[in-house]
Structure formats: structure tokens, C-alpha cells
């Protein structure tokens, strides 16, 4: 955990953002895997972690905006728990670590909320993404489970997004540590990318690296020679010479901060000329975005910059044609680059996505487009110091998408469909780094990698 002062300060900052009422932040519960006692690895809710810091299941945090008081409702372990899990800190000990003043047993929360409701007080809660949380809120608030997410507090969502978007020094240090773990995961993946190796072996090895550093992976590892499938979780192929292997993977730290890095490696170590040309274009898009990102820049403009670089690169190899700006405005590049440039990253790899993507990546200065490709951009708004974001352009040759566009002769003035046939089996390339927006420009994961290389004297 961070210091008591950090959690106390975060709760105080939340109080300053809200007009009144009670904030209820339920922590997560254990989830059964295939029978009740065989559970998934416990993962605490990120907003609960942000304000209360403790990883114990079945704890509810409440902040009274009007009185400034804070509360935790949870049970101390009993002798049965101690026999199976060992001694665990009591709620009062947790409260000493996060500065919460009032602790009660779990069952007391019913009366506490019932009293607030009878007084007509506003109860703020965030969108729930687990059925257990919806059931808990249904029991406490009397709102049917399928109506819970229609009754969330927009005021609370906006306040939490505002606070969690700007990372503190202690959060940045933790993210940097998970980037170091990602470095080990990716260099291991590259070193194993030889003909005859099964994707599964590399997948297992690099997931093990994350686990051996104390966290799980920050999302299920994407590792495939079929990189044109953006989130490919099939790992049964045996690597063959001449293929490209996409590895999109990151670790979660014991404090639950994430890394999210993608590298594309030629199996056996050498790119063909055709692969090199496409790779260099994706790399240029990645590098130019990193160079141009700074406070005050709309990230949507960085997405457009990456799209232009991709169009230029595809024009150079004869796959696209016409005016670059017109092609990007028409969304023609999305045949090859059908996703957004990046997303916020923090305790969730797509940070705060469960609170609503548009609250995180958009605001009243920039609205989400409905154009294919651009519509999937998760982060569009102005960059501010303390934001941590991914930069992940890619070029993909997706046969099913090519067939649809070709049949419709879509954007035919910008796409050379005849030449495209030569690339049908190319696969895909994505390159992803994580950047921190500083007061003046950016710090990014590659710098961290270079420091590690110097330390390792490679």
C-alpha cells in the first residue's frame, strides 16, 4: 500500500469535487471459477483501491461528502478463515494503513444505507461491472440489478475520472516498475521467436515472468503469427520462418498498476523487404506521435497524425493512392488501421474504461466520431501533465475486411485493390509504447528500456 496520507488526500480531493451526499464504493468479492471454493485469483476494484488501498475481498467503503467522515464495512477473519488462510489484518488495522476513521462489520452497512435513504440523501455510486456488485447494490438501494447502471452518479464518475487521470509520483514509479517487467516479457518473447517454437510456449513463459514479479498479466497476453486478428488469443501455431509474430503484453504490479507494450518480431530474426517497409511505417507513426505529444495537444490530432503517416507509407509501396489528407478524412486508412491510437493506462490497462470510455477519453471539446476506425479511438481529448497513455498504431491485412471493402469498391480512389492481393497473407504489425505526459513533453517506455539496456551493458 501507499502511505496513509495518500489515501486520505485522495478521499479529501473527492469530497472537494462533489456537491453532497454519500459515496458508496464497493470492493470486489471472490468469484468462483468452476465450483464455489475454487476461485479466480482475487482482483480488487480499481476505484476502491484508489481511495481505500486494501485488497481484502468483501469490504465496502463509504465517504460522507457532507460531514467529511469515511467508513469501511467488512468482517475480521474468524478461526475457520485463520485455519485455511492464516491470520489476516483486522479491519481496524487496515484502517490504520489507509487513514479511514470508522470501521464496522459488513452487516452494519444495511442499516447505515437504509438510514441515509430514509433521510432522502443522495447516494453516489459508479457503474458496476460484476454481477455480485449489482446484487449488493440492489440489496442496499432497492434498485433492480438490471437498472443499477442506469442510476449511476455522473457527478461521481466525472470526479473519479478527473482524479485518477492525473497520476501521482508514487503511481508513476509503480507504472515504471511494470514497464521493466514488460521489457523482460518482450525480450524473452523475441528471443524465443524461432521456427519450430509453439506460440503457447512463449505465451506461457512470458505470463510466468509477470507472475514471478508479483502480479498477473495486465490483460490476457495477445501473441500470434496471425497479428491481423487484433486481439488474438489462439496460441497453437508453430512458428515458421518468414512469419511475423505480434506480442501485445504487459504486467500488473503488486500495487495493480499496468504496462501495455506491443512488439512485432520476424520469426528467425530477419524481416523480408516487404515486411520491413510496412514495419518502418508503423514505427514512424509510433515515434512521430511520441515526439509530438505534449500537454495541450488533442490526442485525436495524434491519431490523425498516425493515420497520415500510415497512408504515406502505404502510398510508397503502392497500396494506397491519392491525396493523403483526403484519404484520412474519408477514413480510407481504416481498412489497414481499424482501431484507435491508444488509451489511458493506470490501474486498469484501459484505465477507468468501466466508468465509461467517453468520460475518460472525450469531453465537451471533442466528441466521438461515428466513422469506421476513428469511432474506436478511446482517447481523444487534450493531453495534461500526469496522463499515462499508450501509443499503438498498426497496419493489418484482414482478408475478411478486404473482401467486404473490395466488393463495395469502397474508397477505390485511395486503395489499390489489385496490389492489395499481394498482401492478403501478410498478417499484421503493431508497435505499442506507454507515455507519460510531463509538464513540457513526454517520458516514455522506450527510455526506460534504454536505461535497462545500459544497466545490463548490452
> Does 219 interact with ligand GLY (rule: CB under 6 A)?
yes
To 10 degrees, what angle do helices 299-316 and 273-292 make?
160
Among 218, 243, 390, 411, binds Mn ion (CB under 5 A): 390
* Beta strands 60-64 and 388-391, pairing class: unpaired
Q: Kindly determine how many residues on this chain lie close enough to bind Mn ion according to the rule CB under 5 A.
A: 2
b/e per residue 90-116 (b: at least 16 CB within 10 A) = ebeebbebbbbeebbeeeebeebbeeb
Q: How far is the CB of 224 from ligand GLY (least distance, A)?
A: 13
In the complex, minimum distance from the CB of residue 317 to Mn ion, in angstroms, rounded to a whole number: 26
**CA–CA separation, 159 vs 18, rounded Å?**
7
Residue span 404-433 as binding mask against ligand GLY, x where in contact by CB under 6 A, dash where not: ------------------------------
343 and 390 Cβ atoms separated by less than 8 Å: yes
Query: In whole angstroms, what is the distance from residue 165 CA to residue 47 CA?
Result: 12
Rounded distance, CA 422 to CA 424, Å? 6
Residue 153 or 264: which CB sits closer to Mn ion?
264
Indicate the SS3 state at residue 158.
helix
Contact call for residue 248 and ligand GLY (CB under 6 A): yes
Taken in order 273, 275, 281, 285, the sign of the CA dihedral is negative
Decide: helix, strand or coil at residue 47.
helix
Binding mask 162-201 for ligand GLY (x = CB under 6 A): ----------------------------------------
Q: Is 298 in the site for ligand GLY (CB under 6 A)?
A: no
Interaction partner, residue 199 (Mn ion, ligand GLY, none; CB < 5-8 Å by kind): none
Closest CB to ligand GLY among residues 180, 392: 392
* By the rule CB under 5 A, 433 interacts with Mn ion: no
Residue 43: exposed, middle, or buried by beta-carbon count in 10 A (0-12, 13-18, 19+)? middle
Q: How many residues does the chain have?
A: 458
Site track for ligand GLY across 341-360, x = CB under 6 A: --x-----------------
- Which grid cell sits at 288? 512521430
**Residue 213 near residue 250, CB atoms below 8 Å:** no
Contact segment (CB under 5 A) with Mn ion among 74-82, 236-244, 257-265, 397-405 equals 257-265
Considering only 252, 260, 348, 351, the residue that binds Mn ion (CB under 5 A) is: 260
The partner in contact with residue 219, picked from Mn ion, ligand GLY, none with C-beta cut-offs of 5 to 8 angstroms by kind, is ligand GLY
Q: Which of 70, 174, 260, 351 binds ligand GLY (CB under 6 A)?
A: 260
How many Å apart are CA 237 and CA 382, to the nearest integer?
41
Least Cβ distance, residue 282 to Mn ion (angstroms): 14
Report what 44 binds from ligand GLY, Mn ion, none; CB cut-off 5-8 Å by kind: none
Cβ closer to Mn ion: 180 or 248? 248
Binding residues for ligand GLY, per CB under 6 A? 219, 248, 260, 343
Amino acid at each position: 500500500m501507499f502511505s496513509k496520507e495518500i489515501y486520505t488526500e485522495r478521499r479529501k480531493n473527492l469530497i472537494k469535487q462533489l456537491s453532497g451526499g454519500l459515496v458508496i464504493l464497493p470492493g470486489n468479492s471472490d468469484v468462483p471459477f468452476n465450483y464455489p471454493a475454487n476461485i479466480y485469483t482475487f482482483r480488487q476494484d480499481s476505484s476502491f483501491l484508489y481511495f481505500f488501498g486494501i485488497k481484502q475481498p468483501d469490504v465496502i467503503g463509504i465517504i460522507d461528502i457532507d460531514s467529511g467522515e469515511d467508513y469501511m464495512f467488512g468482517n475480521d477473519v474468524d478461526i475457520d478463515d485463520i485455519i485455511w488462510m492464516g491470520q489476516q489484518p483486522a479491519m481496524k488495522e487496515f484502517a490504520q494503513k489507509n487513514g479511514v476513521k470508522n470501521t464496522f462489520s459488513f452487516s452494519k452497512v444495511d442499516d447505515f444505507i437504509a438510514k441515509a435513504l430514509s433521510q432522502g440523501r443522495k447516494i453516489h455510486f459508479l457503474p458496476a461491472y460484476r454481477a455480485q456488485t449489482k446484487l449488493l447494490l440492489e440489496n442496499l438501494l432497492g434498485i433492480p440489478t438490471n437498472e443499477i447502471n442506469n442510476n449511476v452518479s455522473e457527478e461521481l464518475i466525472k470526479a473519479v475520472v478527473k482524479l485518477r487521470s492525473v497520476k501521482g509520483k508514487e503511481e508513476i514509479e509503480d507504472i515504471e516498475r511494470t514497464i521493466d517487467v514488460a521489457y523482460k516479457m518482450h525480450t524473452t518473447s523475441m528471443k524465443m521467436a524461432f521456427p519450430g517454437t509453439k506460440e503457447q510456449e512463449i505465451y506461457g513463459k512470458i505470463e510466468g515472468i509477470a507472475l514471478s514479479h508479483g502480479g498477473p498479466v495486465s490483460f490476457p497476453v495477445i501473441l500470434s503469427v496471425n497479428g491481423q486478428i487484433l486481439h488474438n488469443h489462439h496460441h497453437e501455431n508453430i512458428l515458421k520462418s518468414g512469419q511475423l509474430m505480434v506480442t501485445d503484453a504487459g504486467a500488473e504490479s503488486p500495487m495493480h498498476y499496468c504496462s501495455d507494450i506491443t512488439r512485432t518480431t520476424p520469426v528467425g530474426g530477419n524481416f523480408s523487404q516487404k515486411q520491413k517497409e510496412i514495419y518502418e511505417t508503423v514505427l514512424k507513426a509510433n515515434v512521430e506521435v511520441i515526439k509530438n505529444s505534449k500537454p495541450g495537444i488533442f490526442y485525436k490530432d495524434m491519431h490523425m497524425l498516425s493515420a497520415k503517416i500510415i497512408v504515406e507509407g502505404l502510398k510508397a509501396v503502392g497500396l494506397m493512392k491519392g491525396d493523403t489528407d483526403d484519404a484520412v478524412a474519408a477514413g480510407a486508412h481504416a481498412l489497414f488501421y481499424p482501431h484507435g491510437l491508444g488509451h489511458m493506462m493506470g490501474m486498469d490497462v484501459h484505465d477507468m474504461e468501466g466508468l465509461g470510455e467517453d468520460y475518460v477519453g472525450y469531453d465537451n471539446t471533442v466528441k466521438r466520431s461515428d466513422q469506421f476506425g476513428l469511432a474506436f479511438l478511446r482517447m481523444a481529448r487534450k493531453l495534461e501533465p500526469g496522463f499515462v497513455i499508450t501509443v499503438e498504431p498498426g497496419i493489418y491485412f484482414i482478408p475478411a475486411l478486404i473482401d467486404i471493402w473490395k466488393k463495395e469498391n469502397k474508397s477505390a480512389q485511395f486503395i489499390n485493390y489489385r496490389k492489395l492481393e499481394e498482401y492478403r497473407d501478410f498478417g499484421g504489425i503493431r508497435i505499442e509504447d506507454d507515455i507519460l505526459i510531463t509538464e513540457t513533453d513526454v517520458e516514455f517506455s522506450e527510455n526506460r528500456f534504454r536505461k535497462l539496456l545500459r544497466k545490463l551493458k548490452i
